[in-house]
Homo-oligomer: A and B are copies of this chain.
Amino acid sequence: METARPSAVTSGADPADGAAEPAMLDPAAATELLRGYGIVALPERVVQTAAEAGVAAAELGFPVALKAMAPGLVHKSDVGAVRLGLTHGAEVEAVAAEMAGRIPDLSGFLVQSMAPAGLELFVGARRDPTFGPLVLAGLGGIWIEALGDVVARLAPVDRAEALAMLAELRGSRILDGYRGAPPVDREALADVVVAVGRLMQERPDLVEVDLNPTLAGPAGAVVVDASLLVGPTPAPQPRPASSTEAIRRLLNPASIVVVGASPTRAKQGGRLFHYLLKHGFSGPLYAVNPHATEVMGRPCYPSVSDLPEAPDLACIMVPGEAVPGVLEECGAKGIRSAVIYTAGFAEVGDEGRARQDELLAIVRRHDMRLCGPNTSGVVNAAASTCAAFGMAFEVERMPAGEIAFLTQSGALGSSLLSRSWEQGIGFSHWVCAGNEADLTVSDYLMALVEEPAARVVAVFMESLRDPDGFADGCRRARALGKPVVVYKTGASEAGRRAVLSHTASLAGDDAAYDAFFRAHGVVRVHDLQGLVDAAQTLAWQPAPRGPRIGVVSASGGACSVVADECARHGLTLPPLSVEAERRIRAIIPPFGVSRNPVDVTMQITVDPGMVGAIVEVMLAEEAIDALLVLMTTNADPPALEVARGVARAAAGATKPVIVTRVGADFLAPQSVPFYRASRLPLFPMPDRAVRALRAMVDYGTRVAAPGGE
């Protein structure tokens, strides 16, 4: 695969000249720069003529490699601009002359000592426009794109992290000496990775580093071909101001005005008002509408300026053209927080963006904070405040919960909310970020982690504009022991987008997000349902310290399914101690299985107390980090007895216990609510349970662990 390159100039581009187009650093300068960071490149000479090439080769010692240089010539071996293993001066001269006669715009030759034997790797970096320098390591050298075995991290990377990157490669064990080759020097390779990270941090003009191949031998690693791309130093992004207090008030308003409130639920302003009333907002609630004197039993005022006080929050649901005037009036009245539901701003193009900028100017002038425009609103279920509209809020009662749900898509976010409610999962907050004219997901994250009712923040993310702010929120969440779980879309779009840069093709947008999440202790999930599943599990159960899962089931088939799912997600089913197996054998029937996964058999219907007793034994095992109870068609009343036993054993445990019941809910009308009341996450399918466990393990080992990242 040939990848396009920005117009490349091999003559030494001055990184300080502020040229708009990125350019290749010339090879000698690149080698020199790398040497300053302790990165060893092969000895080489840059020369102009064929005759000089012969002389340079003799100086370096034979055999040598000869490479033609020309503007834009990157994948040299693709076009016959590389010859390896030349053994005497005349041969070098002849080959150089032949290249000179064939390759257009030839600017000279690179004469290089031949590479020693070694394993071909790729080490590189690119500067991501959102997240900054991303350091990459991969296996396969010149095969790298075809193998796609690349691991990325945000710079800086320390040695332990660099070694972890090498360990994460799919083909990592090749590094340990495959089929007779000696193990390669992982430390030396890690040093190259660390140095590239440092280089990217200290040289903000570097756009891309491509050390490929980097040959790793039993002692040391040497770079055979280095491409360094320099560009204009990016201007530092201004950090928007944040004000947690203003956002706190937006999430916890003591009083609210709905501008554009309507007496009829056929209108959106009517529905919004209705939802506020229906879901129990208990503070002063005002309506503003010049055509009404009363809305659903509450006083209605012709304008914001007529209000008897400045409420904490203005909910603005008026036609687009009226929005700036209303917002201005709110500011003048002294209202400091507003939600603008009205659509038709930045999301519809340049003209809309200009109108949105106008709103932002008003907000700044009055020192207000704004949610939206084009948002579905803000819900604080813990405070019975539903300042949101959408069919989801037709729900009879919003179940309380401990998950704060932050979404960049109103439609999808509210549909997931209603689907989760239907599954018995509650939320403490729900925030739709809308167009993020003022407040961004990063601001909301910071505010939500401070809310006492929120134990976990779940984020449906499309893109992140303020990664530093988000990182701050993550740090605060970590300090408070509150997990942040993210489902991020757009992986495939980034993939489909035309990729300008070679290195970016190896680690695109999605890899950058992944590295960012990893660096900041965000638990990433990969499906929509998994966002809620992981959040609920993290809210209810302690974090496991490792990936070792104990399973109790009443079906051999179920044990087999869960073993496959665990293997697929990198979780293990460790053997139990002899003592634990002995204790379990004393509990289960003789045809049961006392090894992990434990099968208590259908005897469970006769003796449902077995399950809790086994959970207790397994929780005490050093080798077990988390427990999965997996029931099949278990029905009440014995199912309830199973549930009681599990809940008893799990109460106060420092390891998580989660439950799967494949059988229909109608068979266990008492057990299902009992599990929920006992804060035991309940899943209908083993794959959902195992994915939730995977998220738990990611959190437990990377974030919550004392020695975590």
Contacts and interface: CB of A to CB of B under 8 A. Distances in A.
Interface of A: 1, 75-80, 82, 142-143, 145-148, 170-171, 173-174, 178-181, 343-344, 347-348, 390-392, 394-395, 407-409, 411-416, 418-419, 421-422, 460, 462, 489-493, 495-496, 527-529, 554-558, 560-561, 563-568, 590-591, 602, 631-635, 661-667, 684-687
Given A1-B173, A663-B392, A667-B394, A687 B527 contact: yes
Contact of A75 (B173, B179, B412): B179
A591 B347 contact: yes
Given A418-B663, A564-B489, A633-B418, A180 B79 contact: yes
A609 B557 CA distance: 46
A275 to B, nearest CB: 13
Contact of A528 (B82, B394, B568, B687): B687
B662 A528 contact: yes
Interface centre among A143, A411, A418, A419 (most CB of B within 10 A): A411
A653 to B, nearest CB: 26
B344 A556 contact: no
9 pairs of A and B residues whose beta carbons are closest in the complex: A409-B557, A492-B567, A411-B555, A77-B180, A418-B664, A415-B662, A415-B632, A391-B635, A412-B557
Contact of A556 (B173, B409, B414): B409
B561 A412 contact: yes
Given A180-B77, A555-B411, A492 B563 contact: yes
Contacts of A170: 147-148
A558 B493 contact: no
A16 B69 CA distance: 63
B684 A78 contact: no
Q: Copies of this chain, how many?
A: 2
Contacts of A556: 409
Contact of A78 (B77, B180, B407, B602): B180
A502 to B, nearest CB: 11
Contacts of A564: 489-492
Given A493-B563, A557-B408, A422 B664 contact: yes
A554 B180 CA distance: 58
A411 B567 contact: no
A409 B602 CA distance: 12
17 contacts: A75-B179, A142-B178, A146-B173, A147-B147, A343-B602, A344-B591, A390-B633, A411-B557, A416-B662, A418-B667, A419-B662, A462-B557, A490-B560, A492-B568, A493-B563, A495-B567, A527-B565
A413 B662 CA distance: 10
Contacts of A566: 492
A414 B633 contact: yes
A635 B178 CA distance: 59
Nearest to A604: B411
B663 A391 contact: yes
Given A419-B662, A664-B421, A567 B491 contact: yes
A142 B179 contact: yes
A136 to B, nearest CB: 18
Given A171-B143, A411-B633, A527-B687, A422 B78 contact: no
Nearest to A553: B411
A485 to B, nearest CB: 16
A119 B566 CA distance: 36
Interface centre among A142, A170, A409 (most CB of B within 10 A): A409
